Chain A
Amino acid sequence: MPLIQVQSVTKQFRRRLRREGFRGALSNLFLPKYEAITAVDQVSFAIQAGEIVGYIGPNGAGKSTTIKMLSGILVPTSGAIEVLGLIPSRQRKQYARQIGVVFGQRTSLWWDVPVIDSFHLLRDIYKVPEAQFRRNLELFSDLLGLGGFIHVPVRQLSLGQRVLADIAAALLHDPAILFLDEPTIGVDVVSKERLRGFLREINQARKVTILLTTHDMNEIEKLCSRVLIIDHGRILYDGNLEDIRTRYASERLLAIEFEAAIPDFSLDGALLKRSQGRKKWFAFNRFETSVPSLIATINLKYPVADLTVTEPEIEDVIRLIYQDQAGRMGPAQG
Chain B
Amino acid sequence: MKLFLSFTRLEFLAASMYRGEFWLRIANNLVVMYGAYWLWNTLYDRQPQIFTISREQMLAYGMLAMLMDTFFSASNHVRYYIMGQVRTGAIQMDLLRPLDLVFHLLARNSGQMIFSVLTQGLPGFLAGALFLGLRPPSNLQDGLLFLLSLLLAYLVAFTLNFLVGMVAVYVTEAQRISWAYYALLRFFSGQAVPLWFFPPFLAQIAYLLPFRCIIAVPLSIYIGQLSFQEALSALGLQALWAAALLAACQLTWYRAHTRLTVQGG
Contact = CB atoms under 8 A, between A and B. Distances in A.
Direct A–B contact in the complex, CB atoms closer than 8 angstroms: yes
Interface of A: 18, 21-22, 25-26, 28-30, 32
Interface in B21-46: 22
Contacts of A28: 16-17, 19
A79 to B, nearest CB: 33
B13 interface: yes
Contacts of B13: 21-22, 25
Contacts of A29: 16, 19, 22
A25 B115 CA distance: 11
- Interface size class on chain B is under 10
A30 B23 CA distance: 10
A111 to B, nearest CB: 16
Contacts of B19: 28-30, 32
A32 to B, nearest CB: 7
Nearest to A32: B19
Taking each of A18, A28, A32, which has the highest tally of chain B beta carbons within 10 Å of its own beta carbon? A28
A22 B13 CA distance: 7
A22 B16 CA distance: 9
A18 B17 contact: yes
A22 B8 CA distance: 13
Given A18-B17, A29-B22, 14 more contacts: A21-B13, A22-B13, A25-B12, A25-B13, A25-B16, A25-B17, A26-B16, A28-B16, A28-B17, A28-B19, A29-B16, A29-B19, A30-B19, A32-B19
Nearest to A31: B19
A26 B22 CA distance: 11
16 contacts: A18-B17, A21-B13, A22-B13, A25-B12, A25-B13, A25-B16, A25-B17, A26-B16, A28-B16, A28-B17, A28-B19, A29-B16, A29-B19, A29-B22, A30-B19, A32-B19
For the complex of A and B, the 6 pairs showing the least CB-CB separation, nearest first, are: A25-B16, A29-B19, A25-B13, A29-B22, A28-B19, A29-B16
A28 B16 CA distance: 8
Contacts of A21: 13
Contacts of B12: 25
A18 B17 CA distance: 8
A26 B17 CA distance: 9
Contacts of B16: 25-26, 28-29
Taking each of B12, B16, B17, B22, which has the highest tally of chain A beta carbons within 10 Å of its own beta carbon? B16
Nearest to B14: A25
Nearest to B119: A29
A25 B118 CA distance: 13
B19 to A, nearest CB: 5
Nearest to A21: B13
Nearest to B17: A28
Taking each of A22, A28, A29, A30, which has the highest tally of chain B beta carbons within 10 Å of its own beta carbon? A29
Contacts of A26: 16
Contacts of B17: 18, 25, 28
Contacts of A22: 13
A20 to B, nearest CB: 8
Nearest to B9: A22
A22 B15 CA distance: 11
Nearest to B13: A25
